[in-house]
Amino acid sequence: MIPTLTAFAQPPDRGRGLARDMPVRWALAEVGQPYRVRLLAFAAMKEPAHRALHPFGQIPTYEEGDLALFESGAIVLHLAERHPGLLPDDFNARARAIAWMFSAQSTMEPPIVERGMAILVEGDKPWHAERLPLLEDRVRARLGELSRHLAERDWLERGFSAGDLLLVTVLRRLNGSGLLEENPNLLAYVARGEARPAFRQAFAAQSAVFKAASAS
Amino acid sequence: MIPTLTAFAQPPDRGRGLARDMPVRWALAEVGQPYRVRLLAFAAMKEPAHRALHPFGQIPTYEEGDLALFESGAIVLHLAERHPGLLPDDFNARARAIAWMFSAQSTMEPPIVERGMAILVEGDKPWHAERLPLLEDRVRARLGELSRHLAERDWLERGFSAGDLLLVTVLRRLNGSGLLEENPNLLAYVARGEARPAFRQAFAAQSAVFKAASAS
């Protein structure tokens, strides 16, 4: 059965792989699962038909037979449970990899997204210049801790897992900020994720949507 | 094997069940699993011994034989996989419940925590009065969407699950804000969670830590 994702018809990240369909596409590519994509205009995301799939009116959603899922982390975990390659077989190692999935989304991502939102939404506010360094220090604290954990390892635990997939996706939001560069092992870690054939395949697929939309 | 959690020796929430050991204690109580607690002073959380268990120097951690876990969402999921009662047996229904676990932590919690942080950390800044309503509107938007999804149901899906457990825990951070009251079905949903015997048992256990700390 070929699953169907939803993604932005007009990607606001201009095809840089920062929208939340990216980790799902990457996971699908890692496990070799073909998929279809249904592109949605912003207005359609808030319509009842889409809200029935995603209560918060966002992308991505994932439909596979009777199953309708939302939340990129949950979709990646579902794929990791259905197919080999994204979680270790050992029960304890598997639980550790899942801990990193939650960590990517609930510990690392919020301060990174908050910094991005402040630049996007509050960039013209009188407080922005004083507030941005506070936000960057919060991101720096997390990056320093992550860098110490990673040390000289290639991946968070023994081998590449869905935890790395989500964490690399989150860290890529800092591309261009200069913050990753303060921790060379994190910069190398992100590059290692981006060098995986499945990452490249997924990146090309989402980037093609933006190119087609901007050409039309 | 009796697992061991870590929690704050001096709970900064004054025993209101807002620290992240609460959902883990609640899940343990739901499945009837006894546990031990190791209380940590703030300074000890940043020491190498604790960092070896939790790369970000936070609570809770969960130790069970050879397994050391961090991230409350991941610990609750681990418990839900080991014991009956927190996830449905049907594979698709189980995936939906896990989607709500991610939703609680990565969609609902960030704007709620950001509002709380702004009050705590930026309450004396000149921009706070203008910025707080923007943050509350972000929380309101999510609450409205959640309220529409929940409608007249008791729980998010067919029966109580780990998704409800995490979501009720997150929504409780809004107690006293007046925001929950704008959606009566959400207020009733939180009260329904708080009325569960396992919630009460976990609440009493974490509250006792604060009472003991403030008496000494």
Whether chain B has a CB inside 8 Å of the CB on A131: the answer is yes
Q: Within 10 Å of residue A90's Cβ, how many Cβ atoms?
A: 11
Q: Is the pLDDT of residue A216 over 80?
A: no
Window 7-66 of A, Cβ < 8 Å to B = 51, 55-58, 66
CB distance A21 to A209 below 8 Å? no
Residues on chain B touching A122 (C-beta within 8 angstroms): 131
Is residue B183 predicted with pLDDT exceeding 90? Answer: yes
pLDDT digits (tens, 9 = 90+) for B196-211: 999 999 999 999 999 9
The reply to whether A149 touches chain B by the CB within 8 Å rule is yes
Of B102, B109, B126, the CB nearest to A71: B102
User: Pairing mode, if any, of strands B4-8 and B36-40?
Assistant: parallel
- Cα separation, A215 vs A8, in Å, equals 15
Closest-CA residue in chain B for A113? Answer: B110
Give mean pLDDT, residues B115-128.
92
Let me know if the fold of B4-85+198-215 is the same as that of B91-196.
no
Contacts of B131 in chain A (CB under 8 A): 122, 125, 127
Distance CA A203, CA A18 (A): 10
CATH topology for B91-196 is: Glutathione S-transferase Yfyf (Class Pi); Chain A, domain 2 (1.20.1050)
Say if the Cβ atoms of A78 and B98 lie within 8 Å.
yes
Report residue B51's pLDDT band, with 50, 70 and 90 as the boundaries: very high
Q: Residue B185: helix, strand or coil by DSSP?
A: helix
For the segment B51-80, the average pLDDT, to the nearest whole number, is 97
Q: Tell me the pLDDT of chain A averaged across its residues.
A: 96
The domain defined by B4-85+198-215 folds into Glutaredoxin (3.40.30)
Q: Does the distance separating the beta carbons of B107 and A95 come in below 8 Å?
A: no
| Residue among A70, A96, A102 minimizing CB distance to B73 | A102
Structural domain boundaries in chain B = 4-85+198-215, 91-196
The whole-chain average pLDDT of chain B stands at: 96
Residue of chain B with shortest Cα separation from A79 = B95
Rounded CA gap, A162 and A156, in Å? 10
| pLDDT tens profile A131-148 | 999 999 999 999 999 999
**Residue in the block written with tokens 């630049």:** A119
Q: Which CATH architecture has domain A4-85?
A: 3-Layer(aba) Sandwich (3.40)
pLDDT of residue B9: 96
